[in-house]
Chain A
């Protein structure tokens, strides 16, 4: 079941956890932290023999984790350089910025009325039970700070809040933890930007509790340095009539795994999920979506796209479960993939699991290459081949970016993606 060879030894992990306890802030729920550790130790890191991890090996991740556990001292504070997207977004998103550096919340941001930061100690135990995900347990065991943000009931739209999850140095291992609690009828727009340095490792958990009638706009962006590893689990629970738009854009790194789990718990809850995965050469990007329709008349729209170059690999697994009580639900998933070269790899699997009759469901996935007829058309007008390819790739990405609905962030992102495509010589073949 589990590849035990992957997981650092229990004794080593317990010792590291004991050292951590000495440095935990006052009031930190050490019980919950210990329970999470023991839960993690009973299962260890998932191996590729487990279906959800079939295409993504955690061997390199485990190696970095083990050496980080050995490092007794705090890592030298030599901040990892921010990738270009960070500067562009910080300039483009006018609202306040909250920085999580190796999971530690930096003080200083002025929040608009209606938003409040609650004690990080209350991040544990997590909203999801222990034992659901080994990586979420690992995070809970080793987290010692985080962002616990609450939106007051009926708080109106506040502008856009930028959360920047980053590394303190080019080699640190972080366990960032974020909770967004939206009280009934409130609104929140967040851009969560995750960046990593050349050898950073991060295992993030984002929890969203959206109460009845609240409206969430969440954009998750990841751009790591080539050698960065990031694993993230974003789990949302939507109450009655709550709605969310979740867009994940992943520009890739040597290992990027993003799980998005959505519980449409209350009646009439709805979610619009979109993802764009770019897999330049040398990257491994794996996105898993798990969409649970539980309430009646719940609706989901899912659109994932990926662009993969030779030497890059993208995995997309989109699972929709319509539960017995979810009568009148409506779910649609589409996945389109663009392969730019002979060595590009995509593994995609939409899954539908339906336990009720009264439901409308559709899903479809297509994988193809740039349309040669469109390429010739552009070139026949005088557009050089490389630029024509870029135009078509950009158009493919733009259709998804247009769904973000935050014009400023959208423009910054579009520029960054286009620049990335331009810089990746391989994309021009």
Chain B
């Protein structure tokens, strides 16, 4: 279970998250919506362990482990995965090299032997197929020269290979064409399982038509100001965030 209690985070001296609380149980899909600049990416980054954020209060645990105390790689080993809003290009480090290094580090940590070459190849081929990704992408530099949509698809491909238990997907739907959105959504749906939780940050109700969330939250003013079921997304689509700006009573 992901349990975020009263989380306060500052960036460059400015408080962005102002006492955010959120509970996500295994098997659930939560959508977080909210105005630009409200702190959605900040939340994802803080949970994944990016530098440059100052946590000034509150806690975040995953299955009882204090996430905030761990370096990013150990959070990954604990099952956390961040799908980046802006995936980074890393020329010279191929997609498969990254994935093998990541899988093996996790296996070493768990006291398991490294994955064998044939098994690994089979795994990445199968997942590439799931994401309808051409195999040529496997040996290219991570996101190097990928189009915006290809980068997002690659994030979900990595998710499929690494099989985390807590997937934080930051605007994975932005920049995807209609067909790619369906592919990504069906990729995510196929990975839904009783042990795995998803937190989807999105601006669009459309994604939630394909991936049905259990809860929809609105993040505004540094806090979750409203929580509802999927009908909340439809309502927001029609009315916008203005009505919600006033802090909840």
Contact = CB atoms under 8 A, between A and B. Distances in A.
Interface of A: 371-374, 376-385, 387-388, 391-392, 394-396, 398-399
Contact of A381 (B51, B76, B92, B141): B76
B92 A384 contact: no
B19 interface: no
Contacts of A374: 88, 90
B102 A381 contact: yes
Interface of B: 48-51, 71-73, 75-77, 81-82, 84, 87-88, 90-93, 97-99, 101-103, 105-106, 141-142, 158, 162
A382 B162 CA distance: 9
A399 B88 contact: no
Contacts of B87: 377
30 contacts: A371-B88, A374-B88, A376-B50, A376-B72, A376-B88, A377-B87, A377-B88, A377-B142, A378-B98, A379-B71, A379-B72, A379-B76, A380-B50, A380-B72, A380-B73, A380-B75, A380-B82, A382-B76, A382-B105, A383-B102, A383-B105, A384-B105, A385-B71, A387-B105, A392-B93, A394-B92, A395-B90, A395-B92, A398-B92, A399-B91
Nearest to B143: A377
Contact of A395 (B51, B72, B93, B99): B93
Contact of A380 (B49, B105, B141): B49
A377 B84 contact: yes
Q: Is the interface of A mostly helix, strand, loop or mixed?
A: helix
A398 B144 CA distance: 15
Which of B72, B76, B77, B97 has the most chain A CB within a 10 Å cutoff?
B72
A9 B73 CA distance: 61
Given A377-B84, A392-B93, A382 B106 contact: yes
A372 B92 contact: no
A247 B97 CA distance: 26
B71 A395 contact: no
A385 B71 CA distance: 9
A249 B30 CA distance: 53
A391 B71 contact: no
Given A382-B76, A383-B102, 4 more contacts: A380-B49, A387-B101, A394-B92, A395-B92
